[in-house]
Each structure stands twice: as structure tokens, then as C-alpha cells.
Structure 1
Amino acid sequence: MTSYNTPGKTFVPDPRIQYIRAGNEPAVFKAKWVIKDPWTILENAGIAVAGGRITAVLDTVPSGPSVTDCGPGILMPPLVNAHMHLELSALAHRLPLGKGFEPWVKALLTARDSLGASALIRAARHAVQALPGQGTGLVGEVSTLGLTRSLLTDQGMAGVWFQEYLGTGYPAPDLAADFPLSGSAAGHAPHTTSPDLLKYLKNRTQKAGLVFSIHVAESDAEMRFIKGNNRSWHDFLIQRGIDPKDWPVGNKTPVTYLKDLGILGPHTLAVHLLQVLDTDLDLLADTQTGICLCPRSNQNLHNRIPDIPALLKRHLRPALGTDSLASCASLSLFDEMAFVRHLCPEVSPADIFAMATKNGASALGLADRFGTLSPGKQSEFIYLDTGVSSRNQVLEKVICYGTC
């Protein structure tokens, strides 16, 4: 496991990754290999663009002054980090891992509060600036303190910025279905955000046509609390000024709890899903709830990862996220894909690549702009400067990039 969680490359762009944002002028970009989507790989092909959109995928590329030959490597869609916490970037390598979730949460709160907003913003800005150089073009950023929205806007990053809420009350989230960056809302988790607040936020985001995000079934503490068997977490909430005495917990799983509240559905993004039963997975499939997994973070905090084959068997389409630098060593989706490949060799390269591209774009409600190199999508793509000799090696090279 340690090769995927090694300090030292937190904010370092990879010189072999070129993030390309084509302008409005007609142009063609070609390479030895083009990954149009997880199931379509073209050799000696190109991408035609104009007006900020992809206009065609070319099997044969003509010569001419408007053609840019990227090289012998791979043109591919930008990666999608569907769940991250940039405002925790200053906590990189500061917190204990492998000692349980509750001690980690308490250490996180103490460390975050001690650093102050200036340090958190400074580290988050470095992390944002490094994202394109790591191949990331679309993000689902979750912010409790509200520090990162302008940082993403300044960088020109696309995605959804989620203001995260805990506790009780009826806030007024700044919702905006804008592009490139939408503003939405997130409930922290079933065991930290009141049921009334969860329903309120879900209703507000749904009316605005936005995705609602929530951590679900991540920890033993959450599972025990929702079942009605965790007095220590109850007391912890009381200490934080949150009184859960009227919450309808008891004899439920986190997934069924959210189903009873009316939270599940195609415009909800359920993140983590470590503590799930087969019946929970069936509920998620039946309600068409979006899913995002953060395997490296899960391994570090809980010594386990989600059952990815079980999700795929039910035709669920999980996205990938890195979570935060408080729980893993990088925000690189290449690292996340490689970790999944290492621990889940039975999952196909195409399925892993889809998790980091197509599935993530769908989960964030931006499948019309990102996820594949198809006509109509944004004229943004990655060139990965790495040699591959045959078509059947392309996806394997990408998902194991830097580790295989």
C-alpha cells in the first residue's frame, strides 16, 4: 500500500502530462493514440475543435498549418475528481492514519482550527494550481468553511463547488447552475447533519437543477449511530453543539436512512459506501443514485475499500475521488486509478478508466461537456507523453501510469 501513499508529490505537476485547452479557432490535435471513450481507442487519429468544442474525431488526420502533432503518446479526456476537499490541503501528512476514524476526525478539527484561514487558503491555492498538471479538468469540491470557490474560479476550473453543512438549521446556500463552475450544497453525512437539514438542502438543490452530495456509509461510527448503538458519537455531537435526540435513527443502515428521508435519486451523489449491504446496493441501483468512491482515503482511514465488483455487477457506475490531502498523499486521479488496479485486478481497465472520466462527468451532471472526446464536448483534453506499442496496452498504460 505504501507506494500509493508516499509523501513528496502533493503539489507537483507531472511534466509528461500536458493539459490542453483549445481556443475558439478551428484546429486539429493528433497523436499516436486517441482514447475517445473507455471502449474506443484510435491509432494515428485526431481531434478537431472549433468554438471551444470538439467538432469531430478523425480516423485520418490531414496535414496543414492548423494541425498540432502532440507526439507518440496518448490524447485522452480530462480526468474527473468527483470528490475532494481542497480546503484541507494544509493538513497534508499532519494527521495520524490507521488509528481509527473518530481519532482522525478529532485530530483534523483541532489541526484545521489551529492553522487558521490564511494557511488553509494558501495551501488550497497551491493544490488548485497543480490540478491541470496532474491531468484533472473537472472537480467536485466540497467545502465546509467556504474558502475554495474563488480559488477554483480564478484557475478556470470546471465542476461543482459544494458548500457543505453539518448540524441543524436552515441556511441560504448560494446555488448557481453556472459554467464552468456551479455552486451547490452538500450534507456532510447522515450522522452529522440533521434529517430536516438534509431534506431542506436536497429540495433546494433539486429545484435548482443541481447535484446534491453527501458522505454515506463511510465509517463504523456512522453505521453504529444510525443503528442507534453509538452513545459516544451522540455525546461528541452534543459537544459540537448538535443535538440528535429527535433524529429517526435505529435499526437502519445509512443508505436506508437516506432512502426514508427521500434523499436518494439520480441528482444525489453518495460518496464512499464502505458499510453497505446487498440490499443497500439494490436501493442505490433502483433509485439511480450517483456514486463516488475514494479508495486510497478509505484504505488509509478504515483499512478497507468499497466492493467495486459488486457495484459494477449491479450496473452502478461509480466515479472516483481522492478525498483530501488529510487522508491520502496526492490529489492525482492517476494515483487513484493505479490503486484500484492494484487492489481490484478483476476490474477491467475500461471500467477503471470510466470511473475517472465518463462516470465522474455524469455524477457531477456535466456529461454533456466532459467525460469523453466526443463531438459537442469541451475542447479540453490531456496529452500523456508515454509510449505504447499496441492498442490493447493503451488503457493499461494509462490506469497504471507511473506505478506499473
Structure 2
Amino acid sequence: MSVRLFHADHVLPGDGPSIADGAVVVAARGHELPEGSVVDVGRATEVVPRHSGADVVRAKGVVFPGLVNAHTHLELSSMRGRVPGGRGFVAWVTGLIGTRREMAPEEDAEGVALAMDELVQSATVAVGDVTNTLAAVTSLARRGIGGAVFHEVFGHDRASVLRRVEGLRVEREERVSQWPTSDLTYAPAPHTLYTTHPDAVRALLDGARARGVKTSLHMAEHASERRAIEHDDGPVPEWLLGMTKHRPAFPKKPLFDYADELGALSPDVLLVHLTDARLEELVRVREKGAPVVLCPRSNLTIESRLPPLLAVREAGIAPALGTDSLASSPSLDVLGEAKALADRFPSVPAWELFQMASWNGARALGRADLGRFAKGTRPGVFVVDASIQGDPAAFMLANLRLPRRQLASRFSESQG
């Protein structure tokens, strides 16, 4: 047969409400579409007759596309539970740096290996991985997890940080032939506007733009970031002085004006966190077309606050979700982020929260082939086997520990 048909009690398409008694049809070997591609989706009463003779798999429970974790730091996976939160970002990151200095390299390798297992078990097929070491790239490729790698740059000494930017450009040219998979894009990325010289921010964003790839920026994560940029005071400048023996002078401009001036409010720059963003700033982000990634459990750990989801929605933004690192989040399950939002914002439909962990994440990373069941996409097909009463998306968020089983890979057999 050239197609496989999955007939399920419920289908969560990833980009809309669930479909009761639904079906998803996927190309098999010999089909005109690449193997693993979605051919059809909808109500079973409509889809099944269109594919008579198909290889039919009857699935109980809910069938859904592979998930997308749009912001994480996989190389920090050995830090799970080692950094206390609740005292604000500066205290948290100081603890992170101190703890990390004491760790052995083999602990990082073990942490990355366990992280890969966790991503696979949670049905995650793509990530936006922010890295300083590229430690997870080979493992991601080996496990068939795609997405984007954002190579982080920071520093306020203009000459040295621009040398770093140029060095990464040269390294990228050398790395092309050795990069383990075309399923992962690569782009250097500024860490934040307060830890990276403005000329380096411009150079990094311009470089990614020229190559047609997306990059990433931690933005409006905490109130002390705004305080530093807008008033040149607060805990951040003194923290940087203690860390680097250099106290940069900040521009004393509105945070989002400064971001716009540097080119950061753009469709090719993922703005991550926005925990401290205001409605009028979020409207501006939407007007500029910048993709947004929220990391609610990390924000709760570090600052004891959630991102302003209702304001994000009011501004017309369809956010993606990310887990951030295991130094600040309890797991790499991006549906855990959706559950944290569901608990605090019960008025938001569960399917919309699921969409943030699937299709919205795929769009944020520039991967129109992932995150939803639509003709031509290749998101993989997964199932939670259960007898479900009521809303299947709400059921999934309330039962995160139930196994998620893969029914169909997004790859052909020849691709592994």
C-alpha cells in the first residue's frame, strides 16, 4: 500500500481544535509524496472513503503530531535540581555559574544523553537549542531531532566580542561539510541586549538575516533587565561588574525602542520569555512580525511569575513554548509548559495551548513541515492510548505521565 491510515478516537491536528473520530493518512513507500508526509486529515467518515484499500491502523485515544520545544539549553541538562530559584534572575544565574564551575565534563555528557531520552519519550521532534559548546548537536542528529541551533554570543568589550562574531563566521564556513544533519539549522545568536555589545548584536542579527536563517534573543525576561537598559541602574550593572570587572554604560532608552533600533524586532529573531513585556510592547512585537517563545515554568522557578499570556493573546501573538534548561525547569516536556499555563489561565482553550507546543513552535523555528497534520507536512504521528472523556487536549495536559507512542516516523525508512 502507498499510504497508511490512522483512525483514532480523537485527532489533535496541531493547528486547530481536536477532531472526534478522526483520521490521518500518511504516505508510505511508493507514494508521490515523500514517505512520512501527511496526505489527508479530517473526520474518519470523510477521510476513510477517500483511501479505500489503505493499510488501516485503529488507534484508541488521541493521535497528534510531534511536539516542538522552541527554546531550551540542552548542554545544561546535568544541572537539574542543582540551582535554587525564587530570588530573582541575578541570584539564580550567579548560582548557575558557580555550580557549573564545579562540575566534571563527563556529567555534562551524561546529562545530554539523558536529555535526548527525555525528548524522545515526550514525542518531541524539533528543538530550538541555545548553546555555548554545541555539545548536543551530534546527539540531536543521531536521535532524529531537528530544528535550530543558536550559538550564543555575549560580552561588552567591543573588540573582543566582534572578534568572536567573526570567528564564528569563519568556523561556520569550515563546519558546513562536517555538520551532522541538514535537519538542524545553525545561527550565532546574541544572549541578551544587556550582556552583548550593541555592535555585536547588530552583526549577529544581520549575519543570520543575510543567510536566510532565524536566530534567537532572550528578551524582557525579568524586571532588572528593563531597569538596566532604561535607567542604567539596578542589580544587573553591578552583577556584570562583579563578573567581568567591567561595568558597561546602558543606553537609557525604552527597552523595546532599543531592541528595534538594533534590528531585534523582526520575523527572523525569536524573542524568548517576554515575561516583563507590556501590552503596548507586545502589540509592537506583533506588528513587527517577531516570533515569540514563552517558558512559563522557568519564569516561575527564577522570578516566581508567569509570562503575560492574556496580554500576549490580546496583542494578536500566537506564541510558541520552550522548556528553557533543566537548571530552571523540571523537565524537557514542552506539554509541561502548556499545563503550567492551563493551570493559571483556564479561559484559554486547551487545544490552543497544545498548538503552542506544536505548530506555533514549528512556525517560530521556520519549519512549516512540522507541528501539524496538513498535506505535505512530515511531523511524525504519535498516540496516547487511553479512554478519553471530554476534551482530548485537556486530557493530555492533565495526564502528562501517560506514555506517548510513535505510530509513524517523519522520515522514510532509508533516512532512519
Which residue, 163, 171, 175 being the options, matches 2:151?
163
Q: Deviations over 1:277-329 (max 9, x none)?
A: 23311220110111000001101111111111111112111100111110111
- Counterpart CA distance in 2 for 1:394 and 1:246 is 51
1:53 corresponds in structure 2 to 37
Shift of 1:388: 1.6
Give yes or no for the alignment of 1:102 onto 2:90. Answer: yes
- Correspondence list, 1:221-236, <5 A: 221-230=224-233, 232-236=235-239
Q: Does the C-alpha gap of structure 1 residues 242 and 83 become closer, same or farther in structure 2, counting only changes over 3 Å?
A: farther
Q: Percent identity?
A: 29
- Counterpart CA distance in 2 for 1:25 and 1:156 is 23
Give yes or no for the alignment of 1:310 onto 2:288. Answer: no
Q: Does the C-alpha gap of structure 1 residues 398 and 298 become closer, same or farther in structure 2, counting only changes over 3 Å?
A: same
Residue 240 of structure 2 aligns to which amino acid in structure 1? Answer: L
- Counterpart CA distance in 1 for 2:2 and 2:200 is 47
- Counterpart CA distance in 2 for 1:48 and 1:42 is 19
Q: Which stretch shifts more, 163-172 or 319-328? A: 163-172
- Conserved in 2, the CA contact under 8 Å of 1:352 and 1:399? no
Give yes or no for the alignment of 1:214 onto 2:217. Answer: yes
- Correspondence list, 1:242-253, <5 A: 243=246, 245=248, 247=250, 249-253=251-255
Q: Which stretch shifts more, 34-43 or 148-157? A: 34-43
- Please report the TM-score for the alignment, with normalisation by the length of structure 2: 0.84
- Conserved in 2, the CA contact under 8 Å of 1:338 and 1:401? no
2:414 corresponds in structure 1 to none
Aligned residues: 375
1:17 corresponds in structure 2 to none
- Counterpart CA distance in 1 for 2:84 and 2:146 is 32
- Counterpart CA distance in 2 for 1:289 and 1:48 is 32
Q: Does the C-alpha gap of structure 1 residues 242 and 41 become closer, same or farther in structure 2, counting only changes over 3 Å?
A: farther
- Please report the TM-score for the alignment, with normalisation by the length of structure 1: 0.86
Q: Which has the higher helix share?
A: 2
For the residue of structure 2 that corresponds to 1:169, the secondary structure is helix
1:89 corresponds in structure 2 to 77
Q: Does the C-alpha gap of structure 1 residues 205 and 242 become closer, same or farther in structure 2, counting only changes over 3 Å?
A: farther
Q: Which stretch shifts more, 227-236 or 287-296? A: 227-236
Give yes or no for the alignment of 1:203 onto 2:206. Answer: yes
- Counterpart CA distance in 2 for 1:35 and 1:351 is 10
- Counterpart CA distance in 2 for 1:93 and 1:278 is 33
- Conserved in 1, the CA contact under 8 Å of 2:279 and 2:312? no
Give yes or no for the alignment of 1:140 onto 2:124. Answer: no
Shift of 1:65: 7.4
Q: Deviations over 1:105-130 (max 9, x none)?
A: 01101111221332112211210122
1:68 corresponds in structure 2 to 57
2:383 corresponds in structure 1 to 383
1:401 corresponds in structure 2 to 399
- Counterpart CA distance in 2 for 1:45 and 1:235 is 58
For the residue of structure 2 that corresponds to 1:365, the secondary structure is coil
- Conserved in 2, the CA contact under 8 Å of 1:38 and 1:353? no
Shift of 1:193: 1.1
For the residue of structure 1 that corresponds to 2:202, the secondary structure is helix
Shift of 1:384: 1.1
Give yes or no for the alignment of 1:34 onto 2:15. Answer: no
- Counterpart CA distance in 2 for 1:284 and 1:89 is 31
2:413 corresponds in structure 1 to none
- Conserved in 2, the CA contact under 8 Å of 1:35 and 1:74? yes
Question: What is the alpha-carbon root mean square deviation over aligned residues?
Answer: 2.3
2:359 corresponds in structure 1 to 358
1:6 corresponds in structure 2 to none
- Conserved in 1, the CA contact under 8 Å of 2:130 and 2:152? yes
Shift of 1:262: 1.6
- Counterpart CA distance in 2 for 1:181 and 1:285 is 26
- Conserved in 1, the CA contact under 8 Å of 2:74 and 2:131? yes
- Conserved in 2, the CA contact under 8 Å of 1:334 and 1:401? no
- Counterpart CA distance in 1 for 2:86 and 2:299 is 10
- Counterpart CA distance in 1 for 2:245 and 2:17 is 48
Shift of 1:250: 0.6
Residue 104 of structure 1 aligns to which amino acid in structure 2? Answer: W
